[in-house]
């Protein structure tokens, strides 16, 4: 069963290795565990619903708790403390586009606010109800998860918007296809959520981001249904799919999604290479991207992330041997791990591997085969569970991300890390910070930074520290030509920084669109566009 106050399935537990806790204690001090609230305590705080009974709507307190918060750090702290803030007044579970339309009509009739809800994996405050004089209806798409049609000739699949990653892949794989979209939240996030928040999967290098995969579909709005037909390409004016991509529930509810799918590849392998320094590693990954070497995944960890990953990998004996070997081959202190994937048939993969090895060798790369690549593959959806282990050990972990042009990557990365590393200095606290690049393009790269800090003595302190760090890093991103989000979207947490990159005219255009589709401001108020 899905956890009500954290990530994933209750049955999955990922432990922090003993040397991992020691590693963190040495860097930022002993952990400071905080007490967790129980579900019973939270249920006792759920107020009576302001909605009338309706066949499509659940007013059950636990259902309302389970749809009140996403997965951002403030969400995590609220759930752990048991202080949720607002709960939706009810959760609707439509099964067809027609039922979505009925629920939107009900919202007009009863003066409701509506929050579209996919998998609730938002990390930017997208789906949290706010205090409102109008009752809040959360609209979960989880019962609309079926593969409705597979056009094998055009390789286009039509899905209900609530299909989660495993539901998308299992239905496609049964027919020999894949979507190839694997965000780290794949286990719980949904197709509609990916489109609505412009998601990027770990293998975007081969399959493309959701923007490339989203071929068309239907948006239900307060002013009618908008059909987006599929075309391989079109010069017929602005592409209306762009109004749906990144709309974050503000313009309407996506009721059907058509995606471009690919035949399952014959084989796939992941490898690790160590580069002797960050500057060599950066040149290496940029060359791979710009030479268009046909890899399916690339992830370059900076030196601190490499060190942290090796420390948290467990097996200290084997890791010590590996480090010794790498040092002998020229990748000692300051080394950076680059993981890459090849996906295709035997001949394609052999050619890609050869090209990548040869190119990386020119930058001092030491190839270590598939062992660490297999480990990455095994853990690729298990990393989010580590937040539980760190929390129990008394540490708070969060991530943030951006993207910028190559010419700016190193400088922006350094500034983000330093804003976080020094962010709690006035309190005498250290912050452990590390970064990787995992979505690379010819012209630039995403930057994905993780930071670990101690919560202090209370939940209020833990949240205040987060707020200080998040604001400092977001300011740095916005002032230094980074986008406020490469893949997590805007939600409420990033909305204050959106005008910096969209400009006044751009913001006005977005607001006009929101009013066009939702004249009474019922859909997810405050998300994407601040109130
Ligand atoms: C541990 C973890 C790892 C993550 N890793 C990645 C990653 O690798 N790549 C990445 O891109 N993101 C990642 N995310 C962020 C998150 O998973 C994505 O933003 C994802 O796209 C959200 O999908 P969801 O179905 O959970 O949407 P939700 O969180 O339910 O909703 C997100 C937004 O989309 C809207 N929405 C959802 N469904 C619909 C619909 N049918 N119609 C209209 N609006 C809708 C909501 O109203 C909301 O504004 C991660 C999150 C976590 C917690």
Q: pLDDT tens digits for the chain (531 residues)?
A: 999 999 999 999 999 888 888 999 999 999 999 999 999 999 999 999 999 999 999 999 999 999 999 999 999 999 999 999 999 999 999 999 999 999 999 999 999 999 999 999 999 999 999 999 999 999 999 999 999 999 999 999 999 999 999 999 999 999 999 999 999 999 999 999 999 999 999 999 999 999 999 999 999 999 999 999 999 999 999 999 999 999 999 999 999 999 999 999 999 999 999 999 999 999 999 999 999 999 999 999 999 999 999 988 778 888 999 999 999 999 999 999 999 999 999 999 999 999 999 999 999 999 999 999 999 999 999 999 999 999 999 999 999 999 999 999 999 999 999 999 999 999 999 999 999 999 999 999 999 999 999 999 999 999 999 999 999 999 999 999 999 999 999 999 999 999 999 999 999 999 999 999 999 999 999 999 998
273 CB near ligand 1 (under 6 Å): no
Question: Ligand 1: which atom is nearest the Cα of residue 257?
Answer: 41
The torsion angle over the Cα atoms of residues 150, 156, 159 and 161, rounded to 10 degrees, is: 180
Minimum CA distance residue for ligand 1 atom 36: 193
Question: 124 alpha carbon to ligand 1 midpoint, in Å?
Answer: 9
253 CB near ligand 1 (under 6 Å): yes
Exposure string of 293-330, with b = 16+ CB inside 10 Å and e = fewer, is: bbbbbbbbbbbbbbbbbbbbbeeeeeeeebbeebeebe
The pLDDT score that the predictor gives to residue 316 is 83
The pLDDT score that the predictor gives to residue 311 is 85
The pLDDT score that the predictor gives to residue 17 is 85
Question: 121 alpha carbon to ligand 1 midpoint, in Å?
Answer: 5
Q: What are phi and psi of 268, to 5 degrees?
A: -155, 135
Crossing angle of helices 459-479 and 73-81, rounded to 10°: 170
The pLDDT score that the predictor gives to residue 508 is 98
71 CB near ligand 1 (under 6 Å): yes
Q: One fold for both 37-140 and 267-380?
A: no
141 CB near ligand 1 (under 6 Å): yes
Nearest to 226 by CA among 247, 198, 211, 208: 247
Residue with token string 């590390």:
434
Question: 189 alpha carbon to ligand 1 midpoint, in Å?
Answer: 6
The pLDDT score that the predictor gives to residue 212 is 98
Residues 450, 384: Cα–Cα separation, whole Å: 12
Exposure string of 180-203, with b = 16+ CB inside 10 Å and e = fewer, is: bbbbbbbbbbbbbbbbbbbbbbbb
pTM of the model: 0.97
Q: What are phi and psi of 100, to 5 degrees?
A: -60, -45
Inter-CA distances, 259 with 118, 120, 146, 242, 244, Å:
17, 21, 13, 14, 14
Minimum CA distance residue for ligand 1 atom 49: 248
**Contact predicate 225/218, CB 8 Å:** yes
How far the first Cα of the chain sits from its last, in Å, is 36
390 CB near ligand 1 (under 6 Å): no
According to CATH, the topology of domain 37-140 is: 3.30.43
Question: 146 alpha carbon to ligand 1 midpoint, in Å?
Answer: 18
128 CB near ligand 1 (under 6 Å): no
Strands 177-178 and 262-263 come out as: antiparallel
**Contact predicate 117/164, CB 8 Å:** no
Question: 142 alpha carbon to ligand 1 midpoint, in Å?
Answer: 13
> Which of 197, 219, 529 is the best mutation target for the ligand 1 pocket, counting ligand atoms within 8 Å of the beta carbon and taking the most?
197
Minimum CA distance residue for ligand 1 atom 4: 185
161 CB near ligand 1 (under 6 Å): yes
Inter-CA distances, 496 with 123, 311, 471, Å:
15, 37, 10
The pLDDT score that the predictor gives to residue 314 is 74
Question: Ligand 1: which atom is nearest the Cα of residue 183?
Answer: 8
119 CB near ligand 1 (under 6 Å): yes
The torsion angle over the Cα atoms of residues 85, 86, 87 and 92, rounded to 10 degrees, is: -140
**Contact predicate 259/195, CB 8 Å:** no
Q: Where are the domains of the chain?
A: 37-140, 147-263, 267-380
The pLDDT score that the predictor gives to residue 21 is 87
**Contact predicate 77/463, CB 8 Å:** yes
> Which of 72, 136, 196, 498 is the best mutation target for the ligand 1 pocket, counting ligand atoms within 8 Å of the beta carbon and taking the most?
196
The pLDDT score that the predictor gives to residue 313 is 79
Q: What are phi and psi of 88, to 5 degrees?
A: -65, 155
| C-beta neighbour count of 126 within 10 angstroms | 31
Question: 194 alpha carbon to ligand 1 midpoint, in Å?
Answer: 5
117 CB near ligand 1 (under 6 Å): yes
Question: 8 alpha carbon to ligand 1 midpoint, in Å?
Answer: 14
The pLDDT score that the predictor gives to residue 312 is 81
- Mean pLDDT in the chain? 97
192 CB near ligand 1 (under 6 Å): yes
CATH value of 147-263 in 3.30.2290.10, 3.40.50.720, 3.30.465.10, 3.40.190.10: 3.30.465.10
104 CB near ligand 1 (under 6 Å): no
Domain 267-380 has CATH 3.30.70.3450: yes
Minimum CA distance residue for ligand 1 atom 10: 199
Question: 491 alpha carbon to ligand 1 midpoint, in Å?
Answer: 10
- Sign of the dihedral through C-alpha 412, 413, 418, 420: positive
Nearest to 125 by CA among 520, 496, 402: 496
Question: 141 alpha carbon to ligand 1 midpoint, in Å?
Answer: 13
What is the DSSP track for 3-41? -SSSSSBTT---PPPHHHHHHHHHHH-S----PPPPHHH
DSSP element (H, E) containing 297: strand 297-301
Any idea what DSSP says for residue 75? H
122 CB near ligand 1 (under 6 Å): yes
Nearest to 16 by CA among 314, 342, 360: 314
């Amino acid at each position: 069963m899905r956890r009500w106050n954290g990530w994933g399935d209750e049955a999955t537990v990922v432990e922090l290795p003993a040397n991992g806790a020691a590693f963190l204690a040495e860097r930022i001090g002993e952990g400071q565990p905080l007490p967790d609230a129980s579900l019973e305590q939270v249920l006792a705080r759920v107020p009576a619903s302001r909605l009338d009974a309706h066949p499509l709507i659940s007013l059950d307190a636990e259902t309302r708790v389970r749809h009140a918060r996403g997965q951002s750090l403030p969400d995590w702290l609220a759930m752990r403390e048991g202080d949720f803030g607002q709960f939706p007044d009810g959760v609707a579970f439509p099964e067809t586009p027609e039922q979505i339309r009925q629920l939107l009509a009900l919202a007009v009739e009863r003066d409701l606010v509506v929050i579209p809800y996919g998998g609730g994996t938002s990390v930017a405050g997208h789906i949290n109800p706010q205090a409102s004089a109008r009752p809040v209806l959360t609209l979960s798409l989880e019962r609309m998860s079926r593969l409705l049609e597979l056009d094998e000739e055009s390789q286009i699949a039509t899905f209900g918007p609530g299909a989660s990653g495993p539901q998308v892949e299992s239905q496609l794989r049964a027919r020999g296809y894949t979507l190839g979209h694997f965000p780290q939240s794949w286990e719980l996030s949904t197709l509609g959520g990916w489109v609505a928040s412009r998601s990027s999967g770990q293998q975007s290098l081969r399959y493309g981001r959701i923007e490339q995969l989203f071929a068309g579909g239907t948006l239900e709005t307060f002013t009618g249904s908008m059909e987006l037909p599929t075309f391989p390409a079109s010069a017929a004016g602005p592409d209306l799919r762009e109004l749906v991509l990144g709309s974050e529930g503000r313009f309407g509810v996506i009721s059907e999604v058509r995606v471009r799918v690919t035949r399952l590849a014959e084989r796939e392998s992941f490898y690790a290479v160590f580069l002797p320094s960050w500057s060599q590693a950066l040149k290496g990954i940029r060359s791979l991207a710009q030479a268009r070497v046909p890899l399916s995944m690339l992830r370059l960890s900076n030196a601190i992330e490499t060190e942290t990953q090796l420390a948290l990998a467990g097996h200290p004996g084997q890791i010590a041997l590996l480090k010794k070997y790498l040092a002998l081959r020229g990748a000692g202190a300051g080394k950076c791990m680059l993981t890459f994937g090849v996906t295709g048939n035997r001949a394609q993969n052999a050619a890609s591997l050869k090209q990548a090895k040869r190119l990386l060798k020119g930058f001092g790369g030491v190839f270590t085969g598939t062992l660490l690549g297999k480990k990455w593959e095994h853990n690729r959806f298990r990393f989010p569970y580590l937040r539980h282990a760190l929390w129990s050990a008394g540490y708070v972990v969060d991530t943030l991300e951006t993207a910028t042009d190559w010419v700016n990557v190193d400088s922006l990365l350094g500034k983000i890390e330093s804003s976080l590393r020094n962010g709690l200095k006035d309190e005498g606290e250290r912050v452990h910070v590390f970064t990787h690049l995992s979505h690379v393009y010819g012209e630039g790269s995403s930057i994905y930074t993780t930071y670990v800090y101690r919560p202090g003595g209370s939940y209020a302190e833990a949240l205040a520290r987060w707020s200080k760090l998040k604001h400092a890093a977001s300011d740095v991103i916005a002032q230094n030509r980074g986008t406020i989000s490469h893949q997590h979207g805007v939600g409420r947490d990033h909305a204050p920084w959106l005008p910096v990159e969209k400009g006044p005219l751009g913001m006005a255009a977005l607001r006009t669109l929101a009013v066009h589709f939702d004249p009474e401001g019922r859909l997810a108020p405050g998300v994407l566009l601040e109130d």
